[in-house]
Amino acid sequence: MACPPLDVLCIDDESLLRAYLTDASPLRGNLPQAVLFPSDAAEVAKVIRWANKEKVAVYPYGGGSSLVGSPLPFDGIVVDTSLLLDLEVFEKDKLVLAGAGWRLSELNHVLRRYGLWFPVDPGSVEWATVGGVVATNAGGIRAVKYGLTSDHVRALEFVTPVGEVVWSGAWAKKSSTWLRVHQLLVGSEGTLGIVTKALLTLSRVPERREAVLLLFEEAEEMGEAVLDILELAPSALEFMDPKTVRAVNSRTDMSLKMPEKYLLLVEFDDERSSEKTKLILDKYEGIKEDPETLWKYRKLAGPSLTLVKGSRSDWDVAVPVSLLPEAIKFVYENARDWEVAVFGHAGDGNLHVNLLHPPGEEWVRKAIEKAKEIICEMSKRYKATVSGEHGIGLLKLALLGCEVDEPALELWKAIKKALDPNLILNPGKKIPL
């Protein structure tokens, strides 16, 4: 373990390096040699140029909330982005130029002063950083109305894998000028460059939010309701299956208890919210509650399922919305030999297939095999994408070929090799070389 001879804040004490061995996935990395904390693009560039000279792998690490092992180091050095904290708000144009290290909850805390917010709202909002959501093209609970991260990235400042600082993208809403290299970085999981600043489009903070929880006996009924409610432009449309409901109900820190059915959390945030919630409560069985309580219930889905067996792997498949009920049933029928629970972003056709298992590498390996079997078939039958929002990282590498064919993979490899000739940036993730 040793910090490189660079004038950049660095730690190499083994007890501190251990914090980087994990993210929110069931995987584990290896101890890096050191962790560096650059405070601007020039310092990131200095680190990257040194790494190229020494042929040392570099792992960008944001909030560490990845569910697929994308930031985990395997020797080499980690670039922790938490000191990349520049911030300029352009209130009239509803834009922010934010350093990659800003956690979304903290960024939104500042933006609230201007009546603005960055509406990409993953369940990990307290944890995830601007750089992390850009690098994974994160979605989240309000993507159904506000879109994905890619819809909000107008331009990026980033450091290339050979250490050049690049700005890509226009400030204006319209621009046919640029080769959209900045969008190539969106979802590239730290393999094509380190994002240092992002120019992001914002929305006005909604004046009101109203939410209801609807109950359904069958996935098909819920699926019909999803298509119906989408016509009303909800700001969130989230589902939980009966198994997930049971897991949340079993918590002592959650006073709300719901029947073990399919639940649909529907939220509206426009001026017709009251009228719309009344309309759907007249039509479907459900309850109206304080939105905060309902969101607390929904956000406990993942953590509660982890407690069932001690660990879980989350496979965030997405299908065309109309195929959601069939896809859910397919999962149950084909994972009878596993304890499985499904929840997710119904409005985007994004189902989180959770395989529940005890902790340990052997179980993760078995889960990958099972997920590959199920999701490859779903890709053929239901036009499923392997990852709706979490990315590929390490966990899903074995599944990539189910969706992305050989010519496309060859193109990915050619791009990676052209930009990163020494293959130093987040090697082994996303792009199978």
Closest CB 143 distance from ligand FAD, rounded Å: 8
Q: How far is the CB of 96 from ligand FAD (least distance, A)?
A: 16
Strand order in the sheet with 311-318: 286-289, 210-216, 262-268, 236-240, 339-345, 350-357, 311-318
276 or 371: whose CB is closer to ligand FAD? 371
| Least gap, CB of 178 to ligand FAD (angstroms) | 19
Minimum distance from residue 282 beta carbon to ligand FAD (Å): 30
Minimum Å gap between C-beta 193 and ligand FAD is 6
Q: Which is nearer to ligand FAD, 189 or 403 (CB)?
A: 189
For residue 251, give the nearest of 213, 289, 306 by alpha carbon. 306
Of all residues in the shown chain, the one whose CB is closest to ligand FAD is: 132
- Residue nearer to ligand FAD on the CB measure, 221 or 389: 389
Considering the complex, state which of residue 43 and residue 221 has its C-beta at the smaller distance from ligand FAD: 43
Q: Point out which residues bind ligand FAD (CB under 6 A).
A: 23-24, 60-67, 70-71, 81, 100, 122-124, 127-129, 131-133, 135-136, 138-141, 189-190, 194-195, 302, 389-390, 426, 429
> Which residue, 132 or 347, has its beta carbon nearer to ligand FAD?
132
Q: Tell me how far, at minimum, the Cβ of 3 lies from ligand FAD, in Å.
A: 20
Look at phi and psi of residue 33 and say left if phi exceeds 0, alpha if psi is from -120 to 50, else beta: alpha
The least distance separating ligand FAD from the CB of residue 150, rounded to whole angstroms, comes to 11
Nearest Cα residue to 137 out of 33, 66, 72, 210: 66
Q: Which is nearer to ligand FAD, 312 or 370 (CB)?
A: 312
Phi and psi (nearest 5°) for 275? -60, -40
Smaller CB separation from ligand FAD, 4 or 132: 132
Of 189 and 269, CB closest to ligand FAD: 189
Q: Which residues of 239-262 are buried (b: 16+ CB within 10 A; e: fewer)?
A: bbbbbbbbbbbeeeeeebebeebb
User: Min. distance of Cβ 279 from ligand FAD in angstroms?
Assistant: 27
Closest to ligand FAD by CB, 52 vs 81, is: 81
CA-nearest of 349, 357, 381, 278 to 373 is 381
Give the shortest CB-64-to-ligand FAD separation in angstroms. Answer: 5
